[in-house]
Amino acid sequence: MAVRYCKNNVEQIKADACAVGLKDKDANKFWRSVYKLSNNKATNLETCVGGCSDAVNVVKMWQEHFEAMYNTPVDSRYQALFLSKTAEKLNV
């Protein structure tokens, strides 16, 4: 009966295990239990992302993507608009 109860209520038991850390106001205990519950299912299923086939190349692909996105030339119209709006918020 105990095994059947555990199988039927596995999600509730996992949530209760995480809640113990919160109840004790122990953030480390809480995050360790979350890590244990969620990380054991993590797998690397993708074999190809954006034409890249291994983890190193996928990381390089994303690095280049974000470098290109964040290293664009500054558009003075948007910069001026941003600065004026932030100045308005600071003066409020």
Give the start-to-end residue ranges of the domains of the chain. 2-39, 55-91
C-alpha 57/C-alpha 64 separation (Å) is: 10
pLDDT digits (tens, 9 = 90+) for 11-67: 887 788 777 877 888 788 888 887 877 766 656 666 777 787 777 888 888 888 888
pTM for this predicted structure: 0.34
What's the pLDDT score for residue 92? Answer: 56
Taking phi first (over 0 means left), then psi (-120 to 50 degrees means alpha), and beta for anything else, what does residue 22 get? alpha
- 84 token code pair: 């004026």
DSSP 36: H
